[in-house]
Amino acid sequence: MMNHLKEHLQDQAHLNPESMSMTERQFHLFLAHDFDNDLLLDGIELMQSIIHEEGGRVFSDREVSQMLDPLLDRFDTDRDGKLSFAEYMMSL
């Protein structure tokens, strides 16, 4: 996780992941995958996060569905098809 976070924060020198709490680190990883800046992770953003974490591995449609559907079913408490930061933290 630390290398992944450092990669995302490399152009933000004022942020030091080593001095952050675990929640702060998770928040910055969440923001790094929130490409439309709506403070929510939709299915595409969640998938991009998984792909990035897996080193760019390509997943079949079935694999994507098997990963995302249970994740959203369990943690998307307001059923908007996206994860807020609070919902995201529950999924960890």
Is the pTM here over 0.85, yes or no? no
Provide the phi-psi class of 81: left if phi over 0, else alpha when psi is between -120 and 50, else beta.
left
Q: Specify the 3-state DSSP secondary structure of 5.
A: helix
> How many separate domains does the chain show?
1
Range of the domain at 84: 2-9+22-91
7-26: per-residue pLDDT in tens? 778 888 778 888 899 999 99
Q: Is residue 52 part of a domain?
A: yes
Q: Is residue 74 part of a domain?
A: yes
Instruction: Tell which residue, 67, 66, 90, has the closest CA to residue 78.
Output: 90
Q: Is residue 15 part of a domain?
A: no
Label residue 1 by pLDDT band (50, 70, 90). Answer: low
Model pLDDT, residue 72: 95
Task: Give the residue, 36 or 51, on which the prediction is more confident.
Answer: 36
CATH of the domain at 69: 1.10.238.10
65-91: per-residue pLDDT in tens? 999 999 999 999 999 999 999 999 998
